[in-house]
């Protein structure tokens, strides 16, 4: 497959020199899932800003949470004969046919943030993403320590079928399964959104009430929604009920400073520089690793007031 992409690269290089300043601007299509969370907005901003910085003509498409719209966007990028495509896929399944179309058109696809299930990994150039299984594991290990190895947890899951929801659940549950006195008493999809996180948490509270001792949310937005539900029920989030989530967006630091969120595992959305480095490399015919893992930190309430000063999103 490298040779096909190299062919496309060569074509791009052959026309280089025709434009102003001797360099032809790259045209890149970016298919984004939507704007369901603060994380997603930060990722979009990072990619847009990096494109502007490098003089890339970015064709941006927001699918508003609809995979079919993402597939249509990819087909439109192919029809426009873009130089490369950046795709943040909503779910893991269902991409093979359209990725084949891109491959036939010799347009390399760089995946950012989430992975896909395909039978042939030559269908994409590389995936730039965090280790979601490890994020779930780290959240669980923190809870094991704080709860002394026993207690009842509820889990707010991300979008069903998405890589982060699948992997964060897997990593978390593998750790908890080794602790017979720790139980996940409820687990449900909150679609990575604040309002849904709140709704699902309200239902958990109606069903389990004071039995709930900890909340694990697959992202900060759902945790913030859950905190609103816990507050409304007089359940003291951050104190009587431990709350941990993933992303480390600004809202999470504000919630930690307010004493309502206990900890957050970072998932870095600033993928623009790496994404365009990958695009440029693949168009030059350079080999790329199949996955590039983004490094993430971990933040707790105690240092949040200091940490927030240097946060970029």
Nearer to ligand AHR, 175 or 246 (CB): 246
Nearer to ligand AHR, 176 or 267 (CB): 267
Q: According to CB under 6 A, which one of 114, 137, 194, 196 is a site residue for ligand AHR?
A: 114
Cα separation of 58 and 28, whole Å? 5
Nearer to ligand AHR, 63 or 82 (CB): 63
154 to 10, 150, 185, 260: CA distances (angstroms): 53, 13, 6, 16
Q: According to CB under 6 A, which one of 157, 247, 266, 274 is a site residue for ligand AHR?
A: 247
Does 36 interact with ligand AHR (rule: CB under 6 A)?
A: yes
Q: Which two tokens stand for residue 139?
A: 């959240």
CB of 45 to ligand AHR, least distance (A): 14
Cα separation of 178 and 166, whole Å? 19
Distance of CA 83 to the CA centre of its chain: 24
- Pick the piece of the chain touching ligand AHR (CB under 6 A) from 24-32, 33-41, 120-128, 175-183: 33-41
Nearer to ligand AHR, 151 or 269 (CB): 269
Cα separation of 207 and 117, whole Å? 35
Are 156 and 197 contacting, i.e. CB atoms less than 8 angstroms apart? yes
Cα separation of 233 and 251, whole Å? 21
Does 46 interact with ligand AHR (rule: CB under 6 A)?
A: no
Beta partners for 140? Answer: none
CB of 41 to ligand AHR, least distance (A): 9
Does 267 interact with ligand AHR (rule: CB under 6 A)?
A: yes
Are 182 and 176 contacting, i.e. CB atoms less than 8 angstroms apart? yes
CB of 139 to ligand AHR, least distance (A): 12
Does 90 interact with ligand AHR (rule: CB under 6 A)?
A: no
Cα separation of 35 and 5, whole Å? 31
Does 40 interact with ligand AHR (rule: CB under 6 A)?
A: yes
Does 260 interact with ligand AHR (rule: CB under 6 A)?
A: no
Are 171 and 135 contacting, i.e. CB atoms less than 8 angstroms apart? yes
Does 186 interact with ligand AHR (rule: CB under 6 A)?
A: no
How many of the other CB atoms lie within 10 Å of CB of 232? 12
- Among positions 207-246, residues that touch ligand AHR (CB under 6 A) are 219, 221, 246
Q: According to CB under 6 A, which one of 5, 28, 30, 39 is a site residue for ligand AHR?
A: 39
Which residue reads 């993933």 in tokens?
A: 246
CB of 162 to ligand AHR, least distance (A): 7
Q: Which two tokens stand for residue 207?
A: 């069903």
The footprint of ligand AHR (CB under 6 A) covers: 36-37, 39-40, 113-114, 164, 192, 219, 221, 246-247, 267
């Amino acid at each position: 497959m490298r040779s096909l992409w190299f062919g496309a690269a060569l074509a791009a290089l052959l026309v280089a020199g025709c434009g102003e300043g001797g360099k032809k601007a790259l045209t890149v299509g970016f298919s984004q899932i939507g704007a369901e969370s603060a994380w997603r907005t930060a990722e979009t901003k990072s990619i847009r800003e990096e494109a502007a910085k490098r003089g890339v003509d970015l064709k941006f498409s927001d699918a508003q949470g609809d995979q079919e719209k993402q597939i249509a966007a990819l087909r439109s990028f192919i029809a426009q004969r873009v130089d490369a495509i950046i795709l943040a896929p909503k779910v893991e399944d269902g991409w093979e046919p359209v990725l084949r179309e891109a491959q036939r058109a010799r347009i390399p696809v760089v995946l950012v943030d989430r992975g896909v299930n395909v039978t042939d990994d030559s269908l994409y150039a590389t995936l730039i993403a965090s280790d979601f299984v490890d994020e779930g594991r780290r959240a669980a290990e923190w809870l094991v320590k704080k709860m002394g190895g026993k207690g009842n947890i509820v889990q707010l899951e991300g979008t069903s079928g998405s890589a982060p929801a699948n992997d964060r659940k897997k990593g978390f549950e593998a750790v908890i399964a080794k602790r017979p006195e720790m139980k996940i008493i409820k687990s449900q999809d909150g679609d990575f959104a604040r309002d849904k996180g709140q709704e699902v948490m309200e239902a958990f509270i109606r069903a389990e009430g004071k039995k709930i001792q900890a909340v694990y949310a697959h992202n900060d937005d759902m945790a913030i929604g859950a905190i609103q539900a816990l507050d409304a029920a007089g359940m003291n989030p951050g104190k009587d009920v431990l709350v941990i989530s993933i992303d480390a967006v600004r809202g999470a630091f504000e919630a930690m400073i307010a004493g309502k969120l206990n900890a957050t595992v970072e998932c870095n959305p600033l993928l623009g520089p790496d994404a365009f480095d990958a695009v440029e490399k693949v168009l030059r015919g350079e080999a790329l690793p199949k996955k590039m893992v983004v490094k993430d930190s971990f933040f707790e309430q105690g240092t949040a007031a200091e940490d927030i000063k240097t946060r970029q999103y």
